[in-house]
Amino acid sequence: MSNNFDIRRARKETIGTNNIIHFNNAGSSLMPLPVSQALHDYLHAEEQFGGYETADKYISLLNGFYDSTAKLLNCSSNEIAYIENATRAWDMAFYAFKFQPGDRILASMAEYGSSVIAYLQQAKNFGVDVIYVPNDEQGQLDTKILANLIDKRVKLISIAHIPTGGGLVNPVMEIGKIAKGAGIPFLLDACQAVGQLHLDVEAIGCDILCGTGRKYLRGPRGTGFLYVRNTLIEKLEPPLLDQHAADLISPTEYRIRQDAKRFENWEQFCAGKVALGKAIEYSLSWGLPAIQKRIYSLADNLRGKLSSIVGVTVTDEGVEQCGIVTFLAKNKDPFTIQATMASHQINVSVSKGAGSLISFSDRNIDAVVRSSVHYYNTEEEIDCFIEVLESLMKTN
């Protein structure tokens, strides 16, 4: 496998690897040293010099966040907003669409629970119809069905790139082509994809994209971002405005700003912004194609070994599968497996119900074990995980 990946350096810069086997990177990855250092340094500066004064002093570092994110996604800095998490970033764009009764949203089976709630709310309030485009026989969004569903009623194509509860990678390039051809805005929930896959908004053809800091980007919790294509920004009036998003020009008038910062709050977690910028630069320094290759190869290895255990079923769908590895084990509750792993200093999570409701209810799944690997994980860690699981499977 990826021999040229400097795994020793990756682990040296990830101090958590001294304590635990962390297979919960889809939940929240381990921050690498340069990122936690940037976070702590900024907080110390605030402690010593004051929050506003520190922001003034580090203005170029704070602004650097937009340049780094733009580099990551191949867009321009004014198309980026810093938002406290991906859900709120997604909401700020989604709730800016003014849906009318009979309008349609085409979504995927992989949608995140919070998005489903937002669809239901807009359906209730504005009579919009949400259609979950079925998967093809491989378990990824069926692009032929999507193409056939395109008509005048469709106002938005809203897709989860990678679901929270499985290894599926939806065919976003194909979806982007269909959206572009039809002139329909394409909103991409790339939460599990950023930091894991090489993403290029031009190649994908998405118009809006949201991401979170704490997952595969390895940034701090409580950080995220939104990308909105230049040509769409001024058409989308954010559902919430403050005096950063808009200028108050007289007692009776305001003007909404023209860049993506219209979707932001004035008050922000500045240390998080600097640290997320650092995390993005750190990812870029490894190279996203190299990261993706290493993650896919580790996940492949893990899936292969899981499949060879009697009673274990890998539940990942799709042609392309990523670092999120999910499975079920006969007569062993996912929470029991999680607890057993925890007692061996192995972190995995359980994906249950609401987060992946559309997909799980379609497949009659309650919950699965989610072991999500990152590039700093190793084959030795996978073997250790498999050993623990094998001995658990031998117990009654």
Hey, what amino acid is at 164? T
Binding flag, residue 189, ligand PLP (CB under 6 A) = yes
Q: Is 319 helix (H, G, I), strand (E, B) or coil?
A: coil
Binding flag, residue 85, ligand PLP (CB under 6 A) = yes
Q: Which C-beta is closer to ligand PLP: that of 349 or that of 377?
A: 349
Q: Which C-beta is closer to ligand PLP: that of 65 or that of 112?
A: 112
Residue 243: which of 224, 261, 229 has the closest Cα? Answer: 261
Binding flag, residue 212, ligand PLP (CB under 6 A) = yes
Size of the site for ligand PLP (CB under 6 A): 12
In whole angstroms, what is the distance from residue 246 CA to residue 83 CA? Answer: 16
For residues 80 and 225, is the Cβ–Cβ distance under 8 A? yes
Q: Is 283 helix (H, G, I), strand (E, B) or coil?
A: helix
Of these, 31, 81, 86, 92, which contacts ligand PLP (CB under 6 A)? 86
Smallest gap from residue 107 Cβ to ligand PLP (A): 12
Count CB neighbours of 345 within 10 A: 12
Smallest gap from residue 208 Cβ to ligand PLP (A): 13
Binding flag, residue 238, ligand PLP (CB under 6 A) = no
Q: Which two tokens stand for residue 292?
A: 């993706």
Binding flag, residue 160, ligand PLP (CB under 6 A) = yes
Q: Which C-beta is closer to ligand PLP: that of 64 or that of 220?
A: 220
Of the candidate spans 11-19, 48-56, 81-89, 143-151, the one that interacts with ligand PLP by CB under 6 A turns out to be 81-89
Radius of gyration of the chain (CA): 21
Of these, 75, 116, 130, 191, which contacts ligand PLP (CB under 6 A)? 191
For residues 164 and 192, is the Cβ–Cβ distance under 8 A? yes
In whole angstroms, what is the distance from residue 50 CA to residue 277 CA? Answer: 21
In whole angstroms, what is the distance from residue 337 CA to residue 352 CA? Answer: 14
Residues 11-50 that bind ligand PLP (CB under 6 A): none
Binding flag, residue 112, ligand PLP (CB under 6 A) = yes
The partner residues of 347 in beta bridges, in order of sequence, read 22
Q: Which two tokens stand for residue 265?
A: 């709050």
Classify burial at 264, counting beta carbons within 10 Å of its beta carbon; exposed 0-12, middle 13-18, buried 19 or more. Answer: buried
Q: Which C-beta is closer to ligand PLP: that of 54 or that of 196?
A: 196
Smallest gap from residue 387 Cβ to ligand PLP (A): 29
Binding flag, residue 168, ligand PLP (CB under 6 A) = no
Q: Which residues bind ligand PLP (CB under 6 A)?
A: 85-87, 112, 160, 163-164, 189, 191-192, 212, 224
